[in-house]
Chain A
Amino acid sequence: MPNEGKLAYLLFEYSIIAGVLLGIFYAFLSMGLNLIFGVQKIINLAHGDMVMLGGFGAWELYYTYHVNPILAVVIVIPFTVALGLALYYLLIPRLSGATDMETLSLVLFFGVSQVIEALTTLGLGNNERNLPINSIPSHPIHVLGQAFAAEAWVAAGVSLPLLALFFFYLYGTPLGRQTRAVMADSNEAAAVGIDSGRVSAISFGIGLALATSSGVMAIFVLGGVNPSEGPGLTIIAFAIVVFGSLGNPFGTLLGGVLFGIAYEAAQVYATSWSDLVPLVLVLGVILLKPQGLLGKRTRVV
């Protein structure tokens, strides 16, 4: 039997490794919210509902079409981009003319969140849906002599290449550079000839697609999905994005990983407090560094 010191070290080691795995998944889950905020300066309060829809999509694809959930991650992307483009052109141009777009967008997307939850409940019932654990590789994976749940590795293993692809899009492609320009300032972007509306529409579609594809993994990480899951997931994603720095994709990556570690540490050392982790992160960063971990103080010339 290990002595107390050894046990404490093993628990610490476990919380770090499990936290990094969970954090990569949560960074992926939050990235779409950050992209949409960065480009359009609106907070998509329906973000968590899109994650939830991704989970339901995976459930439907598995039981109706026998599609492996890992493949479902990729399948939901084009459908959600198309849905995102349709929603963008339906909703956003009407918002753009408003004098207080930020406040109106909060109200609008709160409404969208409620509509998605209500329609999902009406159409699919309010029971929790989950997938059999053997629908993805299910053997625990041992690292440093400790066993870590397979679903955590699968979620991180699927999230990481998709995050890499997203960063390549943002930093290595012409459309990605245009997106970063619009994130910096849409008026300045227009002055170099960038069609900010087109870039915003594509970013909105990609932002929603990131949410739904992370939802496919959420069905395993969270143990299942139900229609009322959305607002809770939005709060976690918002906490991660604010913690890292609103609008900064690297901030979301760092915020996600630190959230994962903090959450797992809370699970290990103070289980009943773990749900407070996102709120503590947001309050802490607002009090100590309001611009977020990677945010810089604004200086204009």
Chain B
Amino acid sequence: MSEAELVVDGVSKYFGGFCALDAVSFEIRRGEALGLVGPNGSGKTTLLNVICGLYPPTKGQIFFRGFRIDGHKPHLIARAGINRTFQLAKPFKSLTVRENIDLALSHRKGDGASLDEILNLTNLTGMVGLEAGNLNAGQQKRLDLARAISLEPSVLFIDELGAGLNPVELNELAEILRKMQYGGRAIVVVEHLMGFLEKVVDHVLVLNAGREIFRGELRNALNDQDVKRVFLGDSIGH
């Protein structure tokens, strides 16, 4: 088995006295797709923010290709090869689709997909001249994704990309993510929508109140008592 691309080792994050993440660990290799699941407030987005450098971890270490990256600035982590989309897609609205993607391409180290290839992959061909603020919700999310992959990340975090999209747009996104996975990227998908997750990932890490409560295959998670209790309440879990 290949070396892990990203290793998260016992990462905790406190905001004052509040523990948002409690000793979370996982690793992911190229070509793998992992689902990161949990109810609201379980720490999923905080974990992404810590890995991507927006917050330093309170405890623990993060390694990318063997190099420790926790505490590094977010733009350096993005350039190095870990990137993300945002739960609330906020493309640079006064910039065109092309300018949005060009900004990312200008910071890419080495070769990678061209602008046309990125547009084609994310179904944004024909919209290059439009201001991002004029795109609809699904197009803005695809632009967020296009910008994220422009830096050719080997680890890509997708933060609730499916929220607010219709079934056709969800299928479109699932198809795009599968292509990326087959292209050798490691993908971590943060998502509430189980139907969408089933199309993209096989394994999940389930968090609750900042702690890991399950790690394994998605179909087993759906039958796990702790996972059921967290998502459906105590009466169902017992």
Contacts and interface: CB of A to CB of B under 8 A. Distances in A.
Nearest to B74: A190
B78 A190 contact: yes
A78 B79 CA distance: 31
A187 B86 contact: yes
Contact of B107 (A184, A187, A194, A197): A194
Interface residues of A, number: 21
A301 B137 CA distance: 6
Interface residues of B, number: 36
A37 to B, nearest CB: 16
Interface in B41-60: 52-54
B107 A192 contact: yes
A300 B141 CA distance: 11
B33 to A, nearest CB: 20
Given A180-B94, A301-B137, A191 B99 contact: no
A161 interface: no
A296 B94 CA distance: 12
B215 to A, nearest CB: 27
A196 interface: yes
B72 to A, nearest CB: 11
A252 interface: no
B86 A191 contact: yes
Interface string B186-214: 00000000000000000000000000000
A178 interface: yes
A5 interface: no
A197 B73 contact: yes
A181 B78 contact: no
A188 interface: yes
Contact of B84 (A184, A191, A195, A296): A191
Contacts of B108: 193
B89 interface: yes
B122 interface: no
Contacts of A187: 54, 74, 86
Nearest to B139: A301
B124 interface: no
Contacts of B148: 191
Given A184-B92, A184-B94, A301-B137, A195 B54 contact: no
B74 A191 contact: yes
A58 B133 CA distance: 42
B234 to A, nearest CB: 34
A192 B90 contact: no
Contacts of B74: 187, 190-191
Contacts of B223: none
A301 B93 contact: no
Contacts of A194: 75, 103, 107
Nearest to B148: A191
Given A177-B95, A181-B103, A197-B73, A192 B88 contact: no
Contacts of B95: 177, 180-181, 184
A188 B92 contact: yes
Interface string A174-188: 100110110011011
12 contacts: A184-B91, A188-B86, A189-B103, A190-B53, A191-B78, A192-B78, A193-B108, A300-B89, A301-B89, A301-B137, A301-B140, A301-B164
Given A190-B53, A190-B75, A194-B75, 5 more contacts: A177-B99, A180-B94, A191-B74, A191-B78, A193-B78
Interface of B: 52-54, 73-75, 78-79, 83-84, 86, 88-95, 99-100, 102-104, 106-108, 133, 137, 140-141, 147-148, 150-151, 164
